[in-house]
Amino acid sequence: MVAVRNEFGSNALGRGRTFCKTGHVLEIGVQNGPTSGVRWASEMDPPQRFLEALSQFGFQFRSRRMLTVDDFGRIRRAHRDGMSIREIARRFHHSRYRVREILRGEQSEPRPYSRRKTQTAPKLGAFHERILEILRDDEDQPPKQRHTAMRIFERLRDEGYAGGYDSVRRFVQKQRRSQQETFIPLDHAAGQRIEADFGEIAVDFPDGRRKVSVLILVWSYSNAPFAIALPTQRTEAILEGMTQAFEFFGCVPKEVWWDNPKTVASALLPQRRFDACLRQDVKVDKYQFARFDNVSYSLPRQCAFQTVTVKGYVDRVEIVHQHAIVATHPRSYTASDQVLDPRHYL
């Protein structure tokens, strides 16, 4: 019978197990009297002094861990230096069959770990199609209304699923990852292009909260931004915002790219500052009003029944008659509004 010293664990007689201080398990097998083998039940190799103690009883330890490239190199160098196969097997704790296999070159490098192509899902497998159906329905929904993995898990549990949440989460994550968008990297020269788009922010005014349009321009090369709040997204507002942006940057790009423009027309960018307004020829009525953008603006009496040019800016309206500005009013965006200057009727 064989005994392992107490300093490495409790005694073990005959066939059984010894639990060592490190928490590893030593399985001792006996066949027809003499001990024929020892198996160390751990992913780690046992301490060297433990192996030396086992060798006194005729044990030979064989490592269960996967061989690495360094292990291959050590075995081949030892054989090159004249060490026998038996001694190599004893020193490096591998079987002689394994050592011969390495030296013969039958295996030039460690075998890579190959995972099964199809992982079994005994509990979730029956619900794969149901999950795919939910994800397909989510494609037509707004992002914030789509199912989370937890919500899908709760629905499956109500339909009889008895597995855990992690399995559902991993399957959903795998499906969504395969559908994620990818992008083509672009390269831009400095000063070549600027990208423009409108956004909206909520602003608290004295009369309540309202949405305000914000024009955002960003250089494609440096990502340097510019933003300005504007009352509308109309052409005059776009022209005013771009003028302010170019003055802020101190230069003009060769190209301006718009994302889904509504009122932007393609035109060559001027080399100097332009009048950021809309021009419209209007005939003045008997009430001395010139109507522009569904709003009536007053003029002096001498302009009645004449044709004038209305210049609509973002913040004001200027009316020109015979190459002179005859009236200036604050811009109104209220339909059917009337903007009067009492002095025009004196």
Q: Residue 160 and residue 80: Cα distance in Å, rounded?
A: 64
- E strands, the chain, in order: 16-19, 25-30, 35-41, 193-205, 208-219, 225-230, 255-258, 278-283, 289-292, 295-298, 307-312, 316-321, 324-330, 338-339
Which residue, 40, 43, 65, is CA-closest to 51?
40
pLDDT at 183: 78
Asked if 331 and 315 count as a contact pair (C-beta separation under 8 A), the reply is yes
Give the pLDDT band of residue 60 (cuts 50, 70, 90).
low
Give the pLDDT band of residue 258 (cuts 50, 70, 90).
confident
Other Cβ atoms closer than 10 A to 225: 11
Task: Report DSSP state, residue 17.
Answer: E
Who wins on pLDDT, 309 or 264? 309
305's tokens: 């029944």
pLDDT at 238: 87
**Quick one: CA torsion of 105, 109, 111, 113, rounded to 10 degrees?**
180
Task: Report DSSP state, residue 294.
Answer: T
Q: What is the pLDDT of residues 129-144, one digit of tens each?
A: 999 999 999 988 888 8
Residue partners of 99: CB distance under 8 A and separation at least 6: 75, 79, 85, 88, 89, 92
User: DSSP assignment of 108-145, as one string?
Assistant: SSPPPP---SS---TTTGGGHHHHHHHHHHHTTS-GGG
Other Cβ atoms closer than 10 A to 41: 10
Q: How far is CA 216 from CA 195, 213, 242, 247, in A?
A: 8, 10, 9, 14
Residue partners of 169: CB distance under 8 A and separation at least 6: 149, 150, 153
* Statement: the pTM of the whole predicted model exceeds 0.75: no
pLDDT at 56: 62
Whether the pLDDT of residue 169 is over 50: the answer is yes
pLDDT at 96: 85
Whether the pLDDT of residue 50 is over 80: the answer is no
Give the mean pLDDT of the chain: 79
User: Strand pairing partners for 225?
Assistant: 218
Q: Residue 240 and residue 254: Cα distance in Å, rounded?
A: 18
Output phi, psi for 29, to 5 deg.
-110, 140
Q: What is the pLDDT of residues 267-310, one digit of tens each?
A: 445 556 667 788 999 999 999 999 999 999 999 999 999 999 99
Whether the pLDDT of residue 226 is over 70: the answer is yes
